[in-house]
Amino acid sequence: MAAVSGRLSVGEEAYLRALTGRLVGRELFKGYNKVAIITYPDRICESVSAAASVAFLERFGYGPGKVMIFDYQPDTKALVDKVVSWGPEAIYIAFGGEQKMADVNDMTIKLLRSLSDSGFKGALLIHVRTWLATKQFSTITSDSKLRAYLRSLKEIRLFTADANAKKFYFNVVKVNEDGTVSLAKYGEEDITDEHAQLLKLSLPPG
């Protein structure tokens, strides 16, 4: 399934995820005391997950049981059972670094179906590449059951990036009854020229 773009080395891709994960842990996770990260078990997804975990603990207090990383597996029911039994307030879906966008879309939909079946009603935190892979959630909200599930959650947050403006934006996602989606920005962060340039070179695999 791996499909890196080739414009950056693996080391540069990992460094980009360190820069990005720092902001995810500080801003996307803010306000939650127990966050589960579901990531694809590859080098890049694990990099952003580790960086976000460190930033979260550093910013909001180091201690046990505050963040846990769970690797995606095809048996999403078994995966979700493990995640939900841990008792997170929020779940961060961190897919998309080395995976084809079509595969990220399929994994996300499958995972959300299992989360829906589990009865999890906490918060969902979304990585920008997961957002892009699902065509801004349209592949999810076209399913009436998943649309209703997203509307039932406590909160959905998303981060997006504008490399030209050198900004990261943090948004609350609202899913409407008709399946349309709107974003309400709750925060933004400036990024360095270096971070912006790496983002421009790191294009999602097709």
Return mean pLDDT, the chain. Answer: 93
Q: Render pLDDT for 117-132 as a digit per residue (tens, 0 to 9).
A: 999 999 999 999 999 9
Q: Is the pLDDT of residue 6 over 60?
A: no
Of the candidate ranges 92-101, 122-131, 178-187, the one whose mean pLDDT is the lowest: 92-101
Q: Using 50, 70 and 90 to split pLDDT, how confident is the model at 10?
A: confident
Picking from 95, 18, 13, 14, the residue whose alpha carbon sits closest to that of residue 55 is 18
pTM over 0.85: yes
Read off the amino acid at residue 28. L
b/e burial code for range 74-85 (CB count within 10 A of at least 16 → b) = eebeebbeebbe
Strand positions, DSSP E, the chain? 35-39, 67-71, 90-94, 123-126, 155-162, 167-175, 181-190
Q: Is the pLDDT of residue 154 over 90?
A: yes
Q: Using 50, 70 and 90 to split pLDDT, how confident is the model at 2?
A: very low
How high is the pLDDT of residue 3?
Answer: 39
Q: Render pLDDT for 17-66 as a digit per residue (tens, 0 to 9).
A: 999 999 999 999 999 999 999 999 888 899 999 999 999 999 999 999 99
How high is the pLDDT of residue 205?
Answer: 58
| Average pLDDT rounded to a whole number, residues 169-189 | 97
Strand partners, 37: 69, 92
